[in-house]
Amino acid sequence: MAERPRAPAPAAWTTEPARKLPRPDEAAVREAIDLVHQAYGDDLRRDYARAVGMLLKAVNTTTDAARRYALLSVAEGVAIDAGDTDLALDVVGQRTSLFDEDGMRARHGMFLKLRKAVKKPDAALFAFAVTTAEEAAAAEEYDLADGAADVALEIAVAIDREERRLITEYRKIRRPQQPPPEATAKTLIADAKQLQRVLQDARRETSEFNDAEKRLLANPSDAEAALLVGEYICFVKRQWKRGLKYLARAGSEPLRDLATRELALPDGSAAEPGARFRLAGGWWRLAESGPLTPPQAAAVRAHAADIYDDVLPLLSDPTEKALARKRAGREPEPPSVDPRQRAADPPNSAVAPVTGGRKPK
């Protein structure tokens, strides 16, 4: 299948403007959208990619904010009606870079429109639903995340129905030369249900964090609250610099000890490489055998890997360097001497040559 034409993004938008425009008044936008449809209606129904490119070009040549917003909104609709997710995302990205609009919510809204427009959902739309849910969860917008996850499950179920229909038809026709349709929906359904469970856990963890943060404000010596706050910031948000001070106040001894040691190190990865190497080892051991859940262990292991990666250029001991390189996920360092080349014995060597496995007489 030939690749569909793309509408190029205007060169003026390769970087976001220093100051975004306020979102225009709804009434003005509706009026402008009506005007855009009157002006470009026939062209919008022909070549959708060309139409989107034309609308984006018009955005760059007008100064009226409502019309610019309307042109971008109509371009988004054209891309959605064509089922071109990538192009629709491009347009939404350009709109949110120009106007003061929540990008995550704009993409979420675009996804819901796309879901309604697509008559036959596929794995690509499922993947977009999952991404939308994950993005909303990262912003702690769990209602939006749950909605996208529910739609992901609906898409997976719809794909399953279509696959069942195709398999039934295949069995009726029985064409040996034609392979049976590939079934992927079961995996998608399982993934969607797993996503729903993950979001439930994330919502619970966020709620526990918010409660613990309030408790800690009321009682700074609450070690249990400090542990919950530190675990959430470090393990979930992966913001270790911000969260270490809470782990250092926690009641959990290995976490408290390691966090205290890390906070005591001077700023800058070049300071005390030996201490940083040992610290990374401590975090790594905690991840491997500590009282952590698998997601927590993964977060701790990633933090240790970051420390190993930072300290690697400063290490001189070859064993330490090899371990740091391995745990940082780096490729092994190539040997300085090719091991296949046997070094020649020095003249008058006291080492007797070995012949046939026997000691010479």
188-220 pLDDT, tens digit each? 999 999 999 999 999 999 999 999 999 999 999
Q: What is the pLDDT of residue 22?
A: 93
d(CA 216, CA 208): 12
Indicate whether 339 pLDDT > 80: no
> What's the pLDDT tens digit per position in 46-69?
888 899 999 999 999 999 999 999
Q: Indicate whether 11 pLDDT > 80.
A: no
pLDDT at 9: 41
pTM: 0.71
User: What are the two backbone dihedrals, phi and then psi, of residue 11, each rounded to the nearest 5 degrees?
Assistant: -60, -30
Query: Which domains does the chain show, CATH number per domain?
Result: 26-172+182-205 (1.25.40), 226-328 (no CATH)
CB atoms within 10 A of CB 347: 5
| Confidence band of 13 (pLDDT split at 50, 70, 90) | very low
Question: CB-based contacts of 103: which residues, under 8 Å, 6+ apart?
Answer: 92, 93, 96
Provide Rg for the chain, Cα atoms.
30
Average model confidence (pLDDT) for the chain? Answer: 85
Q: What percent of the chain has pLDDT over 70?
A: 85
